[in-house]
Amino acid sequence: MTTLPPLPMTRPKLTSLARQKLPCSPRTIPRSRLIKEKDDIDHYLEENFKGLSKEEVAAYRNSYKKSICVDMLRDGYHKSFTELFALMEKWDALRETAKVRSLLWLQRPLEEQPDKLDHFYHYLTRAEAAERKEYFEGVYNNLYALACYFNNSEDKWVRNHFYERCFKIAQLIKIDGGKKEAEAHAHMGLLFEEDGQLLEAAEHYEAFHQLTQGRIWKDETGRFLNLLACESLLRTYRLLSDKMLENKEYKQAIRILIKASEIAKEGSDKRMEGEASYYLGLAYLAAEEYETALTVLNTCSKISTDLDDDLSLGRAYEAIAKVLQSQGEMLEAIKYLKKVVKIAGNNFQRLDVVKASTMLGDIYNEKGYYKKASQYFQQAFNTTAELTNLSQMDETKVHYGIAKAHQIMQRINSYVESEDLTSLGYLLSWKEKRGSIVCDPTNGEPRKSTVESLSQDPENLEEENSRFPDNQKNET
């Protein structure tokens, strides 16, 4: 919901005078002294401004906050005065409680912010006047305007106060078919969502969704309210499911995400439907229901392909690779991960490149293909170095080091198994230098390890490809 266009401020006589605050003291006399000393003010006004009324004197003497309150009472807006006075007391109490360690303490007192006081006076009195005529839609509009005005990080509690008042008033509006009530439920859902009370937020969003079904209502920006209700419900359901998955409540998480998926289909938004399928697939993966997870994630990848959304497609491929890896289908998992690396690289998603490369390195390292594992771990490390992400650099550096150590260990094992003097010389040379490559002292060339020879032998290459894809053969 966006802020309504500002209305022209209407001020009574006393407030207008106080707003002007003409200087009433010579520069030789401190203003603070004149404010405190009533007699000096009266004498100055008597000498310099003949014929001033009591209202004009009060406008110069009183604070702007007091002038606002006096105007409300004099004009008969007692409810507005009571509400404003309660808000000002809470404002001061919050500042006192927060003290110097909170941002609230750094805020200016309300009496030093005349614009906010003007908005309080203007909209509260208009709302009270509309309430007297039982014109509840006018009450709602004025309270909602105040909520929009205070929709900032400093005054969010004021916004929430008026959201709650709008919700109560909306129950009394019957002439609009329930549109104001639907909007009020959306505001209350946002209020609870920001406060972390997701169950309460879901209840309000569900009511919002129910009231907007089959309606073509739009908000101030032209967006359909029903679509906004679907998006809000999906977001809340996903946050709820995340907590359920953390607590290993898989069935409940799947149940609520199935409901989210059905709502997404109802919204007729393919992008939203694909996102719902993605999170549902992850929930099935966490519950170890791999076949169902694959089915749902394939639906997500198809939607992303139809929408030409590479980022969502890469995310879906990564999830599919995790499912295949859990099933032991390493060949297929590698194919999908290589697609992820390519898609992420084309879209400059370097963190995704790091994740996919690390997963590929883990698979190759686990199955003993240390050379390829080193290549992918090195790619992950180089990418984190470009990002200057120190924590990820340390992690990928460890993976890369382990894979390189495994490579060296293969060569060491081949020399130990050969049991000849030449191999013994290689071992002694490596022990002295601790280099990464053990070289033949006669010609300076490194001796191929048994595994490396097998991987490059045409007769054994087919056997390797039957278990894992070759880098060139299956490159995507």
> What's the pLDDT at 414?
76
How many CB atoms are closer than 10 A to CB 51? 5
- Determine which of 56-60, 222-226, 289-293, 448-452 has the lowest per-residue pLDDT on average: 448-452
pLDDT bin (cut points 50, 70, 90) of residue 441 is: very low
Name the average pLDDT for the chain: 80
If one compares 284 and 403, the residue with the highest pLDDT of the two is: 284
Residue 196 to residue 316: CA distance in whole angstroms: 28
* HSE value, Cβ hemisphere, 13 Å, CA-based, for 60: 19
If one compares 399 and 180, the residue with the highest pLDDT of the two is: 180
In terms of Cα–Cα distance, which of 62, 65, 67, 64 is closest to 36? 62
Q: What's 110's DSSP letter?
A: G
- Mean pLDDT of the region 131-160: 92
Residue 178 to residue 19: CA distance in whole angstroms: 40
Residue 150 to residue 119: CA distance in whole angstroms: 10
If one compares 413 and 286, the residue with the highest pLDDT of the two is: 286
- Determine which of 176-180, 264-268, 375-379, 405-409 has the lowest per-residue pLDDT on average: 405-409
Q: What's 100's DSSP letter?
A: G
If one compares 264 and 7, the residue with the highest pLDDT of the two is: 264
Residue 229 to residue 210: CA distance in whole angstroms: 9
Helix (H, G, I), strand (E, B) or coil at 433: helix
In terms of Cα–Cα distance, which of 248, 257, 262, 259 is closest to 278? 257
pLDDT bin (cut points 50, 70, 90) of residue 469 is: very low
Residue 113, pLDDT above cutoff 80:
yes
- Mean pLDDT of the region 459-474: 39
pLDDT bin (cut points 50, 70, 90) of residue 449 is: very low
Residue 437 structure tokens: 């490559």
- Mean pLDDT of the region 463-474: 41
- Mean pLDDT of the region 208-235: 91
Residue 80 to residue 190: CA distance in whole angstroms: 26
User: Any residues with CB less than 8 A from the CB of 29 and at least 6 apart, and which?
Assistant: 40
Q: What's 367's DSSP letter?
A: T
Residue 301, pLDDT above cutoff 90:
yes
Q: Helix 370-387 and helix 390-418: axis angle, to 10°?
A: 160
Q: How confident is the model over 196-219, as pLDDT tens digits? A: 999 999 999 999 999 999 889 988
> What's the pLDDT at 103?
56
Contact 357, 373 (CB under 8 A): no
Residue 165 to residue 197: CA distance in whole angstroms: 19
In terms of Cα–Cα distance, which of 420, 445, 421, 440 is closest to 430? 440
> What's the pLDDT at 102?
62
Dihedral of CA 286/287/291/297: which sign? Answer: negative
Contact 278, 311 (CB under 8 A): no
Residue 213 to residue 457: CA distance in whole angstroms: 66
> What's the pLDDT at 42?
63
Percent of the chain with pLDDT over 70: 75
C-alpha distances (whole Å) from 224 to each of 236, 261, 395 are 19, 19, 46
Contact 446, 438 (CB under 8 A): yes
Q: How confident is the model over 25-54, as pLDDT tens digits? A: 344 455 555 454 556 666 665 666 555 566
- Mean pLDDT of the region 317-330: 93
